[in-house]
Amino acid sequence: MASTGLDSFTNPAEIGAMYPGVGAETAMVGILVALWVGWHFVQAYQEESEYREAVKLYREVGMERAMHHATGSIAAEDEVQIKT
């Protein structure tokens, strides 16, 4: 069995930190912040790509036809009823 080298907890000021990874907190925070910022860049890229595809579709078939069905399929021109 591993020992901590402590006989008692009578003087907690001399004991110090007692958890795994002592001293690695700054590096871990740095890694997590880098991952978080990276995730935002990836998310923005994916959303921009999706937005550009939608704009291309709207320009090709028209907004009314593209937005007619919630299923994602394009409505035929005779199915579209333009609201006035």
Domain hosting 47: range is 35-84
Is 24 within a domain? no
Is 16 within a domain? no
**What pTM value is reported for the model?**
0.54
Which portions of the chain are predicted below pLDDT 50?
Answer: 84
Is 11 within a domain? no
How much of the chain exceeds pLDDT 90, in percent? Answer: 30
**Phi/psi zone of residue 73: left (φ > 0), alpha (ψ -120 to 50 degrees), beta?**
beta
pLDDT value, residue 64:
73
